[in-house]
Structure 1
Amino acid sequence: MGEEPTAAAGRGAHSRAGRGGTPLWRHVRDDLKARLEQGEFTDSFPGENELAARYGVSRHTIREALRELREAGLVTAAKGRRPRPVGEAVIEQPVGALYSLFASVEAAGLEQRSIVRALDIRADAHVAVRLGLEESTPLLYLERIRLADGEPLAHDKVWLPASDARALLDADFTHTALYGELADRCGLRLVGGEERIKAVVPTAAEQRLLDLPDGVAAFSIERLGRTHGRTVEWRTTLVRGDRFSVVTRFDARTGYRLDPAGNRFTRSRRSARRLDAVR
């Protein structure tokens, strides 16, 4: 980051600006805007108290400047949370690991909350086939809007066999991890699976659901989760592309494992049957 202005420098600059009749918040806004455009604040963005001390102005002045920056689409902030530059990829998912979005959000220093849209038992023939079950098998269905620091991050839908997961009907998923509840309430732990991630252009309905600005893509994630010897989870997640990134490690011997044909998941590792036929 570049050199920060001192509180004394801020007081001097803004006292001169005050005599000229220009509102102090405009000078703060313009200075912050210039620094954002120069790529500063990549590690973190100062909070209101810190900015007020740096510029030698009141928190009200800082709030006015930040409000203008939010309206210009340069920063974003939820109530009670520190602002940050828009487009900052703060949440990372490791490739090749059984990750938890809950854990990934909190590891980034953000508060994870969810809006539960559905939690019930239902039948879904297509999903049941993906899980290797009879089409009429009862499934527990959980649908959530995942929030990070109060802002929409992902639209998450998961299906599990009701015979395994019925106890989850009593769980409060507004602030808890599915895999933790699955282990504690049902004695079921996932040990692996398969996941496909691709970039998509969200529909208008999906844009509204995730509060996505125009021109921002999303990640579509499909996951089959397995416990020992059987598949127990089918999950689809749509994640904002401006708040999420995928990371992996590679070496000269193994490199990456790619699937250029874009093949769909199979029922199990022992089956060669494609699932395209049931879509």
Structure 2
Amino acid sequence: MSEAGFTQADRRRREPLWFQVEQAIRDAIAKGEWAMGTQLPAEDRLCALFGVSRITLRHALRNLEEAGLLRREHGRGTFVRSTMLVAGTRELTSFTQEMGARGLTAGSRLLECGLARADAAAAAALEIEEGEQVIRIRRLRLGDNAPIGIQTAQLAASRAPDFLDLWTPQGSLYEALHRHYGLTPVEAGEVYRVAAVNAADAELLGLTPGDPAFVVERITSDERGPFEFTVSVMRGDRYEIRSTLRAGRVPANDRG
């Protein structure tokens, strides 16, 4: 891992020292000078490289970890993380928007697109009768051309008639639904579980059959009710869940 390109943080600049360090590491990762999976030098070496205190360095590293660019392993050190989508408390957004918010270019490869009959799971999610017509769209989702997951979306056909004639596979599903039908997501419920990847999905995701992956079921609703049911199989090394838990109010008689 080359260290030759780094210069010490300049106290005469307007940007804070931690910001200068953070940007220097971001640039090194973006240029491939610090490749994915490689270990950063020890903290004392980084402090000497950038000419900053340990507190300043840790501020920069913490920001990069929260941005999904680094991972810190207790007892081992800090590593450059592979392209990862971090799921946590967030606004209701499309995959394209989530990728853009993380500085990644969203991409898709269409695997399947057509009309189908709702099975029991889709019918329950969409609140329609089993066997009713749904629009089924299956895509390989990419971030900076790296496979992140496989998403299978099912839309109630009655809510978006002739949608397949209007939607461009390279475009955002939600943007098209809003533009042509006024469908605007206002709420989504998600359920996460871990499962072994089957052979077909493993080949698309660049995994070995049986590797663990996140399976995410999402029901998206507008003001009239659910209109989309999506099942996603996400690479476990490029997708993680991060949540902030807050303590609730403790009843007076339980304090102490």
User: Per the shorter chain, which TM-score range?
Assistant: 0.5 to 0.7
Q: In the alignment, does 2:13 pair up with 1:5?
A: no
Q: Report how far residue 165 of structure 1 moved.
A: 1.9
2:31 aligns with one of 47, 56, 65: 47
Q: In the alignment, does 2:156 pair up with 1:161?
A: yes
Q: Is the 8 A contact 1:167 1:185 kept in 2?
A: no
- Aligned partner of 2:21 in structure 1 is none
Q: Is the 8 A contact 1:167 1:186 kept in 2?
A: no
Q: In the alignment, does 2:223 pair up with 1:252?
A: no
- Aligned partner of 1:91 in structure 2 is 85
2:108 aligns with one of 114, 119, 125: 114
Q: Report how far residue 198 of structure 1 moved.
A: 1.6
Q: In the alignment, does 2:169 pair up with 1:173?
A: yes
SS at match of 2:87: strand
How do residues 61-140 of structure 1 correspond to structure 2 at under 5 angstroms?
Answer: 87-88=81-82, 90-95=84-89, 97-126=91-120, 127-140=122-135
Q: Report how far residue 112 of structure 1 moved.
A: 0.7
- The structure number with the bigger radius of gyration is 1
Q: Report how far residue 225 of structure 1 moved.
A: 1.3
Give ranges in structure 1 of 5+ residues lacking alignment: 8-40, 52-65, 76-83, 256-279
- Aligned partner of 2:42 in structure 1 is none
- Aligned partner of 2:177 in structure 1 is 182
| One-letter identity of the residue aligned with 1:45 | I
Give distance in 2, aligned partners of 1:134 and 1:216.
35
How do residues 124-273 of structure 1 correspond to structure 2 at under 5 angstroms?
Answer: 124-126=118-120, 127-169=122-164, 170-174=166-170, 176-212=171-207, 217-253=212-248
Q: 1:214 to 1:202 in 2, by over 3 A?
A: closer
More strand per residue: 2
Which segments of structure 1 move beyond 3 Å, counting only runs of 4 or more?
41-44, 84-87, 213-216
| One-letter identity of the residue aligned with 2:141 | R
Comparing 159-168 with 220-229, which one deviates more in the overlay?
Answer: 159-168
Q: Report how far residue 42 of structure 1 moved.
A: 7.8
Q: Report how far residue 96 of structure 1 moved.
A: 6.3
- Aligned partner of 2:14 in structure 1 is none
Q: TM-score with structure 1 length normalisation?
A: 0.59
Q: 1:44 to 1:142 in 2, by over 3 A?
A: farther
| One-letter identity of the residue aligned with 1:222 | E
Q: Is the 8 A contact 1:93 1:104 kept in 2?
A: no
Give ranges in structure 2 of 5+ residues lacking alignment: 7-24, 40-69, 71-78, 251-256
Q: 1:95 to 1:198 in 2, by over 3 A?
A: farther
Give distance in 2, aligned partners of 1:109 and 1:187.
28
- Aligned partner of 1:260 in structure 2 is none
Q: Is the 8 A contact 1:89 1:245 kept in 2?
A: no
- Aligned partner of 1:34 in structure 2 is none
Q: Report how far residue 89 of structure 1 moved.
A: 5.3
Give distance in 1, aligned partners of 2:204 and 2:2.
39
Q: Report how far residue 241 of structure 1 moved.
A: 1.1
Percent same amino acid at aligned positions?
24
Q: 1:215 to 1:162 in 2, by over 3 A?
A: closer
